[in-house]
Amino acid sequence: MIKCHLSTILGEKRLKIADVARETGVNRGTITRLYHETAVRVEFEALERICDYLGCEIGELLTIERNL
């Protein structure tokens, strides 16, 4: 399962979904789905813009959690 840490990162940086959408140009719905971990697919360009804006690597935003 892929885990998205966007909600944690935004909380630490005290940012809102609207801030990220406005500054990155990424659709607010896409960011909301990532935030709530309901996204099924996301464009690489959107992930790159979000990571650039937040100053993080993709591995900090998304991780794989394996259920053993």
Q: What is the chain's pLDDT, residue by residue, as a tens digit (68 residues)?
A: 999 999 999 999 999 999 999 999 999 999 999 999 999 999 999 999 999 999 999 999 999 998 86
- pTM of this prediction exceeds 0.85: yes
Q: Give the largest Cα separation in the chain, rounded.
A: 39
Integer Cα distance of 30 and 33 in angstroms: 5
Q: Report all structural domains of the chain as residue ranges with CATH numbers, in order of start.
A: 2-62 (1.10.260.40)
In this predicted structure, what is the pLDDT of residue 3? 96
In the block, residue with structure tokens 């309901």: 38
Tell which residue, 33, 29, 34, has the closest CA to residue 9.
Answer: 34
pLDDT of residue 67: 80
